[in-house]
Amino acid sequence: MYVDRVLSGMRPTGALHLGHYHGVLKNWVNLQREFECLFFVADWHALTTHYDTPEIIELNVWDMVIDWLAAGIDPAAATLFIQSRVPEHAELHLLLSMITPLGWLERVPTYKDQQEKLSDKDLSTYGFLGYPLLQSADILIYRANRVPVGDDQVPHVEFTREIARRFNHIYGREPGFEDKAEKAVKKLGAKRAKLYREVRTRYQEQGDETALEQGKALLEEAQNLALGDRERLFGYLEGTGKMILTEPEALLTETSKMPGLDGQKMSKSYENTITLREEADSVVKKIRTMPTDPARVRRTDPGDPAKCPVWQFHLVYSDQKTQDWVQDGCKNARFGCLDCKQPVIDAVLEEQKPMRERAKMYQEDPTLVRSIIADGCEKASKLAQETLREVKDAMGLNYG
Ligand code: TRP
Ligand code: SF4
């Protein structure tokens, strides 16, 4: 069946922190309840920028998977795997590279941005230029139609759509397409075939979008179609060739409101993070020493929450009542900053408690995580092989 399939990846370049939790992982946890989800460790993508420090990757891969599980990703609901253990990604990347204009890659905004930002590294490499195309292969190999990403990654999903379109345009024109499509229509059964023909005509002659949607829904329901026939019928419906690769859409992740300890964005490079499973003592210490409104030198000096990073934490963690208490107490100097910080400390520790517990189980028995990933890789491989077979067919590589 053609269902919504969600795919996303993360590069294993460091311990995950509360910014990742509020920005990405909570969203993944919600998605896994609603959709078929595939989440993977993008270790090859990490190598594009960390090729000279490969030890970082090994160090972080397993910890990152534990962080995901700790955050509530459920291996029974989502498929978890590692990119480099499904080498089909690399084969698709290579095949897609044949039709990828260099200019398209050079124009992806992250290419120049990242080179400038990470100026201490030499990123004028072939691998780094190809970063978005490898990401396209990650997405297209599973025919994922929804890709949850932050706004910085939207250009990569757009790029992927263009690659899919170009691929379908070049290779979707198989010989005898019309005949094959007509034969496939008959396989829908009389009733469905009639409806298919009607909506197809309505869409192609009058551009009726609801007819197109109806046609797609009809194909989604038709269970006993072979994959190739289904792709033909999707393409035949829209008047293009066979749709071999699916154009994905970005599912924009709301940007995390989680600031760092200093009020800037929480990020490892700013050294202002609380990691997901940080020791309680360390969490307490970090929050207690957080900077506050500089006007509050003494307890009797009034302050303004708007000028205080602790207030940003209250916005994430505190209810209305507590927030009112902060506003009043700060502006009227009714309490000291340490008093004000206590509810935040309590809330962060409370949030981390189940995460620490879940993580403990996985840390005590590393074979659990290994077997979750082994299962996930196996499932992912099966899906990936199916697409790759179609792609190789289309590109003339399945000769005897
Ligand atoms: N580039 C993504 C990031 O840095 C990680 C990634 C790799 C990804 N492949 C992907 C995300 C495929 C979504 C889909 O965040
Ligand atoms: Fe910040 Fe609270 Fe101190 Fe006001 S009282 S400056 S909001 S920590």
* pLDDT of the residue at 210: 94
Could you tell me what percent of the chain has a pLDDT over 90?
85
- On the question of pLDDT at 60 being above 60, the answer is yes
Question: Any bridge partners for residue 251, and if so which?
Answer: 148
> Which atom, in ligand 2's list, is nearest to the CA of 304?
4
Q: How far apart are the first and last CA of the chain?
A: 30
Report the top-level CATH class of 5-172+365-394.
alpha beta
- The model's pLDDT over 42-56, given as tens digits with 9 standing for 90+, comes to 999 999 999 999 999
Q: Do domains 5-172+365-394 and 268-363 have the same CATH topology?
A: no
Q: Which atom of ligand 2 is nearest to the CA of 295?
A: 6
Once rounded to an integer, what is the mean pLDDT over residues 237-242? 86
Please tell me the predicted confidence (pLDDT) of residue 241. 82
Give 319 Cα–ligand 2 centroid separation in angstroms: 16
Check if 337 has its Cβ closer than 6 Å to any atom of ligand 2.
Answer: yes
CATH tag for 268-363 (out of 3.40.50.300, 3.40.50.150, 3.30.200.20, 1.10.240.10): 1.10.240.10
Q: Does the Cβ of 293 fall within 6 Å of ligand 2?
A: yes
The number of beta carbons lying within 10 Å of the beta carbon of residue 90 is: 15
* Tens-place pLDDT, residues 63-118: 999 999 999 999 999 999 999 999 999 999 999 999 999 999 999 999 999 999 88
The phi-psi region of residue 263 (left if phi > 0; otherwise alpha if psi is between -120 and 50; otherwise beta) is left
* Mean pLDDT, rounded, for 231-243: 88
81: three-class secondary structure by DSSP:
strand
Contact, 150 vs 10, CB < 8 A? Answer: no
d(CA 80, CA 334): 50
Is residue 316 classed as helix, strand or coil in its secondary structure?
Answer: helix
Query: Is residue 147 a contact partner of residue 157, using CB atoms and an 8 Å limit?
Result: yes
Q: From CA 190, how far away is CA 254, in angstroms rounded?
A: 45
Q: For residues 40 and 144, is the Cβ–Cβ distance under 8 A?
A: no
Q: How far is the CA of 320 from the centre of ligand 2 (A)?
A: 16
Q: What is the pLDDT of residue 16?
A: 96
Ligand nearest 325 Cα, by number?
A: 2
Structure confidence at residue 1 as a pLDDT band (50, 70, 90): very low
Closest CA to 48 of 84, 19, 85: 84
Cβ contacts of 22 within 8 Å, gap of 6 or more: 256, 257, 258, 316
Task: Give residue-wise pLDDT tens across range 203-231.
Answer: 999 989 999 999 999 998 888 888 889 98
DSSP 104-126: HHHHSHHHHHHHHHTTTS---SH
What is the value of pTM for the model shown? 0.88
- Ligand 1 centroid – CA 10 distance (Å): 6
With a 6 Å cutoff on the Cβ, whether 310 touches ligand 2 is yes
**Domain coordinates in residue numbering, the chain:** 5-172+365-394, 177-238, 268-363
Q: Does the C-beta of 235 come closer than 6 Å to ligand 2?
A: no
Higher pLDDT among residues 135 and 253, named by residue: 135
- Asked whether the beta carbons of 391 and 136 are under 8 A apart, the reply is no
Which atom of ligand 1 is nearest the CA belonging to 10?
5
Q: Work out which ligand 2 atom sits closest to the CA atom of 340.
A: 2
Q: Which ligand is nearest to the CA of 110?
A: 1
The tens digit of pLDDT for each residue in 342-356 reads 999 999 999 999 999
Q: What is the pLDDT, as a whole number, of residue 158?
A: 97
Q: Among positive and negative, which fits the CA dihedral 156, 159, 165, 169?
A: negative
Does the pLDDT value for residue 2 go beyond 80? no
Residues with CB under 6 Å of ligand 1 are 7-11, 42, 45, 135, 138-139, 147, 149, 153
For residue 254, pLDDT over 80 is answered with no
Q: Which of 361, 131, 82, 11 is nearest to 20 (CA)?
A: 11
Q: How confident is the model at residue 258 (pLDDT cuts 50, 70, 90)?
A: confident
Distance 270 CA to ligand 2 centre (A): 22
